[in-house]
Amino acid sequence: MSSSAWRQLRAVVALNVRNIPARLDSSLVAIVGIAGVVGVLVALLSISEGFKATVAQKGRDDSVIIIRGGSGDELSSGLSKDQLQVITDAPGIARDDVGAIASPELYTVLDLPAKKEGAKGSSSNVPFRGVGPNAAKVRRAFRIVEGRMLTAGHNEVVVGKAAAAQFYGIEVGRQIISGNHRWNIVGIFTDDGSVSESEVWGDRLVVAAAYRRSTSVQSVRAKLESAGSLGMLKRSLVGDPRIDVTVRTEKEFLAEQSKTLVAIISTLGFTIALLMGAGAVFAAVNTMYSAVAARTREIATLRAIGFSGMPVLVSVLVESLVLGLLGGILGGVIAYAVFNGYQASTLNFATFTQVSFAFRVTPGLLVTGIIYALLLGLVGGLLPGWRAARLPVTEGLRAM
C-alpha cells in the first residue's frame, strides 16, 4: 500500500473513531448487545473453569488412586482385604516409621438437604468417605479449621468446608441422621479447595460396620516415593495375577472424573453464545448502517477529493471493532464482578454425587470473551463497510 493510501486510511479511521460519541445512542445498542453475549459466555465457561479447578487441577502427580480394574470411578469399585495387602506392599509407595503412606477408603453417599434461602431445600447425594489415619497424609493440604479431627472407633464425622456451606444443618455439634445411624459432626476441614471439601468423612471401620461392608474398600490413595516411582508401581500391580486394578495419578483420575461435565458446559456455553451472537451482530449491523447513512455526505466528499474506497471500508470496520472491544470489556467486567467466586454445587456425572465449587472467571476466559466480541464487531461491520466503500459519489453529493 502506498504512503498516500496509508495517509488516507489513518485520516478516515481517526475521524470515524472520534465521531463515535456523536452517535452515542446507536453505539450503545451495539456495545450493550455484545456485552450481554460476552457476559453470558464468560459466566457459563466460568462454571467449567471452577469445576476443573476443584476436581481436576487440584490433583497431585506424586499421589495415586488405585481402584478395581474396569471401574470408572470409586463408587463402582471394590477391593478386598487381601488385595489391600498386596497393594500396600508394592514397591514405589512412600513409607514412614509406621508403614506405607496409603489410605484405604470406603466410598458411599449420604442424602442431605441443600440450603435454600436459609432453610431446607431439595436433598442431594453427598460423598461419604470412610477414612483411616493416613487420609490427611495423602491429601494436598488437609487441615481442620473448626472443631477437631474425628476419633477412630466413634460415630463421628468431619465435613468439608464446601459441603458445610452448601447443605443444611452441617455445623459442629450437630448430627447427620442417615437411616438408623446418627453421625456427630466434630469438625470442619479444608483441603486447598479440592473436591475433598465437598465430602463428609467418618472412620472407615465404623462406616463399614454401619453399611455392612465388611472389610472391603472402594479405593486406595497412596503417596509415591518419587515421580519416577509411578512406572514401577504400575508394573508391580498390573502384572500381579492376584489382583486386577487400575493405577492412575490423582491428577489423571480427577481429570477423567471432570471430563463429561466440562464438555457439556463448554458446548452449552458456546452454543448459547453463537445464538445470542446472531442478535448482537444484527445490532452491530444496524448501528454501522446508521453510521454510514449519517456520514453519506462526508463519505461522498472524501471520495470526490480523491479518497479510495478501501480506507472508507477499513474505517467502518475499525469503528465496528472498537464497539466490539468496548462491549467485550464491559461484558467481561460484569461477568467478573457478578460471578467470580460465586459458590454453587453441581452433579458429578461419574459418581452422581454433588460437588461444591466456586465459579472462576480467569484471564483466559476474559481474553476469549474479548476475542469473540471483536469477531462479532468485525462481522457486524462488513456489510455496512462494503456499502460505504461502494457508495456512488453522485448519490452522496445529491444528499448535500
Distance CA 12, CA 25 (A): 22
Query: Which pTM value belongs to this model?
Result: 0.72
Backbone angles phi, psi at 103, to 5 degrees: -125, 100
Dihedral, CA of residue 297, residue 298, residue 300 and residue 303, to nearest 10: 170
Beta-bridge partners for 67: 246
Counting every residue written for the chain, the total comes to 400
β-strands 63-68, 219-223 pairing: antiparallel
pLDDT along the chain (400 residues), means of 10: 58 61 70 86 86 71 88 86 90 90 91 68 82 89 93 94 87 88 94 87 92 86 88 89 89 79 78 78 71 62 63 74 88 93 73 75 92 86 72 54
Greatest CA separation found in the chain? 95
Distance, CA of 334 to CA of 345 (rounded, Å): 22
What span, in angstroms and rounded, lies between the C-alpha atoms of 177 and 166? Answer: 17
Q: What is the pLDDT of residue 128?
A: 93
What's the pLDDT score for residue 115?
74
pLDDT at 380: 80
Choose among 205, 192, 207, 204: nearest CA to 250: 192
What is the model's pLDDT at position 73?
A: 84
**pLDDT computed for residue 216 by the predictor:** 85
